[in-house]
Structure 1
Amino acid sequence: MKLGRHIVCSLCLAGVFVRSSFAGTTAELAVVGTIRAGACQLLFLEPGPAHFGVISTKDFKDRKRLHLDSKDIAFTIVCDVRTRVGITPRDNQRDSADRSIGEGVEGEDSHEPADVFGLGRYGDRNLGGFVARFVESSLIADGRRVEVISAPADAEEGARWERRNARQIRGGVTNAWGARGTLAPGTYSNISGVMRIRPVLNKQENLTQDTSIDGSLTFELAYL
């Protein structure tokens, strides 16, 4: 398959005034430039944060934790040319993640402790945590349904790709997309889908002021 490339080329001409036509018989012409690979961009289609509104401490009642309704965030990855690309999340509130929020949770919302991202702190208390996953039925690449596959971001070339349980997103794990039924990243120019975010809040007692939920992920594009 022939890949398109942007070519930036500059022509460098140099010369020196000489006093005699016999001063030199050669000259150098330098031709330089850069071949730039196709670039990709990750976009979230809804600007601003995933906002869960105002939560009252009364909502907890006699519960230790409050499971908020999930929120779907649409995303798209657009590449200049067909590219084998993935995304790797980094938790900007990793130290505040309460990894026990999944205790007793079964079914689609079940997850492993390592899948939990942080929501910030109030004083020395963790506010809770959230989990994120891809909605598999939403994933489209170049007009065709695809599946998400994952591999450790620090794995050497030739790492084994797998399908993670419930398509959970985990820090330090690269997610890519491939044809259904395969375990190999495909090359695409447009990938779109939905991430489903579900926060779980720990009961906060004796609050003296309003406290903001402050979860944050940074997604790094990985060219595979």
Structure 2
Amino acid sequence: MKKLLLVALIAAATSSAMAAPTTTLQVKGTLIMSACVPNLSNGGVVDYGNIGIGGLSATDTNQIGTKDITLTITCDAPAKVAFTMMDDRSDSLHALEVETADGTSSTSASAVSKEFGLGKTANNVNIGAYNVRVLDAITDGTSNAYISKSTGGAWAVGSGFQSSTGDAMTTAALGATVTPVAFTTGVFPMQISAAIQGADVLAISDDTILDGQATISLVYL
């Protein structure tokens, strides 16, 4: 047994000595022909105004309505570009059925990545959730379908509901296809729908601000 152990130790030491003492640095990037800038209407603010606690249900989910906002992507030359959304308040998401203006809904139980957090109360209770839904994709004045895909997936006609995890891209398609189209100006009308928990659960004793926030990033295709 002692001889076998000695051989094993010698073999291990030899293998270590023969390993190449190098590693590799790679510097990558892409020189692009155009630069694009995203911009949201109303300064990116969706304001639900004052919501009276006394008018809320004590135990049921409270739908607080739908608001419109528009994302415009402007490029200095035609470019194929998509956008992603990342929830900056994901730790405040409370799973709720959030109804949109046309009666459809995103339900966190089946699609948690389709809802965003609305902030927390002073006693650290998650207030609720909102969803972001794309209604159209207008590129250089022409209405097109909007398409989406997750990391590693294929382009498909979008459901409208945007992912809150930052790993799904949305852009405009070429005609009735699922092929991204190059554009100089892309306009994406959106609707924001929100809901909050029952007043008893929130246990609010002072004014509380809704604090939803998401980051939109561009991805060149």
- Normalising by structure 1, report the TM-score: 0.75
Is residue 84 of structure 1 aligned with residue 80 of structure 2?
yes
1:188–1:198 Cα change, 3 Å: same
The aligned amino acid for 2:204 is L
Is residue 182 of structure 1 aligned with residue 177 of structure 2?
yes
Picking from 49, 53, 59, the partner of 2:49 is 53
Name whichever structure is richer in strand by fraction: 1
1:106–1:63 Cα change, 3 Å: farther
- Normalising by structure 2, report the TM-score: 0.76
- Name the CA distance, whole Å, in 2 between partners of 1:107 and 1:75: 20
The aligned amino acid for 1:116 is E
The aligned amino acid for 1:173 is A
Is residue 109 of structure 1 aligned with residue 104 of structure 2?
yes
Contact 2:58/2:199 (<8 A) preserved: no
Is residue 193 of structure 1 aligned with residue 188 of structure 2?
yes
1:140–1:98 Cα change, 3 Å: same
The aligned amino acid for 1:160 is A
Contact 1:127/1:204 (<8 A) preserved: no
The aligned amino acid for 1:110 is S
Give the secondary structure class of the aligned counterpart of 1:37: coil
Superposition CA RMSD, Å? 2.3
State the Cα deviation string for residues 151-201 of structure 1 (Å, max 9, x = none): 11x32xxx4111233x11112211111123111111111111311000101
Percent of residue pairs bearing the same amino acid type: 24
Q: How many aligned residue pairs are there?
A: 183
1:56–1:106 Cα change, 3 Å: closer
1:209–1:62 Cα change, 3 Å: closer
State the Cα deviation string for residues 53-77 of structure 1 (Å, max 9, x = none): 0111112145512101200002211
Is residue 210 of structure 1 aligned with residue 207 of structure 2?
yes
Deviation, 1:105, is 8.9
Deviation, 1:35, is 6.1
